[in-house]
Chains A and B, each alone.
Chain A
Amino acid sequence: MYHYNDFDTAFVRNRVAQFRAQVGRRIDGSLTEDEFKPLRLMNGLYLQLHAYMLRVAIPYGTLNSRQMHQLAMIADRWDRGYGHFTTRQNIQYNWPKLRDVPDMLEALADVGMHAIQTSGNTIRNVTADHFAGAAADEVADPRPVAELLRQWSTDHPEFQFLPRKFKIAVTGAKADRAVIRSHDIGIQIIEKDGETGYRIIIGGGLGRTPMVGKVIRDFLPSADLLPYAEAIVSVYNQLGRRDNKFKARVKITVHEHGIDEIRRLVEERFALIRSGFSGVDQQLLNGIEAAFAPPAFDAAPIGPYAAAYGADPVFRSWADTNLSRHRAPGYAIVSISLKKHGATPGDASSKQMRVMADLAERFGHDELRISHEQNVILPHVRQGDLPAVHAALKAADLATANIGLISDIIACPGMDYCALATARSIPVAQEIATRFDELKLEHEIGPLKIKISGCINACGHHHVGHIGILGLDRAGVENYQITLGGDGTETTVIGERAGPGFAADAIVPAVERLIRAYLFLRSGPGETFLQTYRRLGLSPFKSALYDEVRADAA
């Protein structure tokens, strides 16, 4: 993986020193909050309901064991002994004190990490497929491109005051695990006539006005990536609306001007600036690609795996649910669930972080990934080592076999932490997971994505959940709206609103009615919730949600 060069190191250290001085001036009264706020946001520091929150970037979700150990150390020393992994593959600390934050940033810089551009109207942390470099269905590893984009976008002088935040995601596979159609720019690495290039999608987004991204270039030669990306952001920087925050994202710019006009403007700008990229970017990319060279895969005998799979039903259930196919024979991709039934989605204790770091070091070529689904991935594990990995995870309460199932819920922090939230998300996720664990129905239900947001900004991706839940404040009471049929993959669809919302004590029973309807309606155990929904539409699910309630009320 990529290691900071002298330039990166100096830049990040410099920024820490600047911010340390700024915090000092805020505390001694030389800076007011109005003056300080943009400075702290540039460095990922928010002020939430109960405390400050530090959002640390994990570029394209990739970490090594040393970095994960450091995240654990920071959690213990300056926070409450845990961290929260987010849908942007970041980690958030919920309890830092203002005077400690420069030390926390210094500790991050020690392991080549930072919190720069995790907030503000800039290009945010570039995300990527969490199976990058390991997936069997991949054309190319998306991380070198993501790292190139990180370097290009960090402190880019033209793009520090965009109309609104700007999010980029990259995938190297056809199966979209990076939600690229819901990003400001989505990049898919593709092959055409033996040449590698990119499909560029723009104007996707969730939030108040959800939109599916549109293809602006079907095939962009690989050498043109940076000038083309710069042309897109440049056109947006000029055209994007600054008069209305709710209409400022590029999805609205694309919607208002039309994709054809935006394409024309981008191509015009691209033609103008292209020659300024002399090829230095490609030399840089070559160096980055070398840093991401795959580890030397050496398929060891899978004997222990087969034996454990045959003998241990708990291991078998975990293996069936939490493993994915690896590109190298004899290897597997391990998804570690941070969704134990009843726990907070995405939270890991410092002890758990250390266990995962040690496993990566010992069994996983020293690599870890954070998924946008708020789980942790060991991308390269020999199949023969899986029983040992499983045993260690079990001992750390990390062996829940529920990846892709109903309790593998995305939930934003909601009103338990977030100052913007209109309702809580975490307790809803906890209760749904606990309820379906009690019912022992999870595996029978099969693949199902529930995504919960605590406000219209949709950090919990509810629009693209098969079942989406949006928490709102209705006349001073928490109320939850359900959307159905959303999909965040290569067949992205924005879910349909089912009808009126439910009170906090009625939302879990409502989800249960939906699931019981699905189990009754599906053509067989092989038909997933989403397939049944697509076959039958909203109507029978709407009946399941509302008819019984209406009958009770009558």
Chain B
Amino acid sequence: MSREFTPKVVTANDLIEGDAIWLTEDDGWTRDMAQAELIEDEAHGQLRLLHALSQHSVAVGAYLADAQLGECGPQPVHFREIFRTRGPSNHAHGKQESA
């Protein structure tokens, strides 16, 4: 039996800035993961990923990452994705600067 599908977001890096971005429901990209589209259906997830991969003048290296619904919207599950919403731990650079 295949594993049960867990909720996902589509994420990538911005072509110019290089930072983490997330796909929104209206086909845009956001730098705030809470604004991203939370995908709860596997087939829909594949379609959204295909859409993201076609946006090669905006987004680089799109993939599906596990997410869960928090109070304000989708939140990361894995620590790597938590770091991507924040920035490095040794300097207050990256997304945490403007947070």
Contacts and interface: CB of A to CB of B under 8 A. Distances in A.
Nearest to B60: A33
B32 interface: no
A51 B21 CA distance: 11
A26 B61 CA distance: 14
A49 interface: yes
Given A33-B56, A476-B79, A416 B15 contact: no
Interface in B45-81: 56-57, 60-61, 77-80
A47 B18 contact: yes
Q: Pick the most buried of B18, B77, B83, B87: most chain A CB atoms within 10 A of its CB.
A: B18
Given A47-B61, A52-B18, A416 B79 contact: no
Contacts of B93: 50, 80, 94-95
Contacts of A49: 20, 80, 83-84
A424 interface: yes
Contacts of A478: 79
Contacts, number: 75
B35 interface: no
B91 interface: yes
B83 A51 contact: no
Describe B's contact surface by its main secondary structure: loop
Given A32-B56, A33-B61, A476-B79, A426 B18 contact: no
A51 B18 contact: yes
A347 B13 CA distance: 25
A26 B57 CA distance: 8
Given A97-B17, A98-B18, A477-B79, A47 B89 contact: no
A80 B18 CA distance: 14
A378 to B, nearest CB: 26
B22 to A, nearest CB: 14
A27 interface: yes
A43 interface: no
Q: Pick the most buried of A29, A33, A347, A430: most chain B CB atoms within 10 A of its CB.
A: A33
Interface in A58-114: 80, 82, 94-99
A428 to B, nearest CB: 11
Nearest to A26: B15
B89 A426 contact: yes
The interface size bin for chain A is: 20 to 34
A123 B98 CA distance: 40
A352 interface: no
B7 interface: no
A47 B60 contact: yes
A434 to B, nearest CB: 13
A270 interface: no
A67 to B, nearest CB: 24
A315 interface: no
A38 B27 CA distance: 28
Nearest to A31: B56
Given A33-B61, A49-B20, A416-B83, A27 B15 contact: yes
Interface in A100-134: none
Contact of B88 (A97, A417, A473): A417
Interface of B: 13, 15-20, 56-57, 60-61, 77-80, 83-84, 87-91, 93-95
Given A33-B60, A415-B80, 6 more contacts: A27-B15, A33-B15, A33-B56, A47-B13, A96-B18, A344-B90
